[in-house]
Amino acid sequence: MYYYDWSYMLLLPAIIFTMYAQFKVQGNFKKYSNVRAMRGLTGAQAARRMLDAAGLNDVAIEQIRGSLTDHYDPRAQVLRLSQTVYGVNSVAAVSVACHEAGHAIQHAEEYTPLLMRNNIVPLVNFASQLSWPLIVFGIILGASSGIGDMLFMIGVIAFLAVILFHAITLPVEFNASSRAMAQMESLGIIMDDEKRGARKVLSAAAMTYVASLAMAIMNLIRILALRNRD
């Protein structure tokens, strides 16, 4: 007989939202990758201008493989831009590059949410691996078992650490995007007619982080629902 788990329905809104967010980020990046930046700057050049304006001349910029694999490495103090951003002259490329440059500036200024996120990364990595096995064993053993109840609660607490990480990520990403927009305008990296496209690229990217938080929260709700059912 087939077993239908109704609790998966709790995840459906978050799954749809995640799919929509991915569709938007891919669609907007593709669309504005075909729109040439009027200033003629590539992603790497735009990021370099933004970093230098902030006095971060020592932050290197490197090209890496892939698409939308862009990130700032705070330990090496290196901005790594993907092949679709580094040497590309487009509104999408300069927007993504300047967003990552925003993270480098956050790091240099010791932006509190960024420091909090970086400090809890080891804990979150450990908690994410620990939470599901503990939750599953807790559910299998049942609420009537003292050990089962303890394992379940420890698993939930570990899962809350993962949700906290996603929650802290939101202000970090939104702030990096707002820094990028402000600097692209003030440094003349983009023209007035390009602002709308840049905002759409950055807003779509930010939406994926909101979707990740929503998915984590709905997973927790599903976990608690499964426990209460037993």
Residue 58 structure tokens: 């020592």
60-64 and 78-82: which strand pairing?
Answer: parallel
How far apart are the C-alpha atoms of 134 and 7, rounded to whole Å? 19
How far apart, in Å, are the Cα atoms of 191 and each of 39, 86, 178, 186? 7, 20, 16, 10
Nearest CA among 87, 67, 82 for reference residue 25: 67
Q: Residue 19: left if φ>0, alpha if ψ -120 to 50, beta else—which one?
A: alpha
Amino acid identity, residue 153?
A: M
Amino acid identity, residue 229?
A: R
Q: How many CB atoms lie within 10 A of CB 146?
A: 9
Q: How many CB atoms lie within 10 A of CB 66?
A: 10
How far apart are the C-alpha atoms of 100 and 166, rounded to whole Å? 18
Whether 194 is catalytic is no
Q: Of 62, 100, 109, 194, which is the active-site residue?
A: 100
224 burial via Cβ count (<10 Å: 0-12, 13-18, 19+): middle
User: Active-site residue numbers?
Assistant: 100
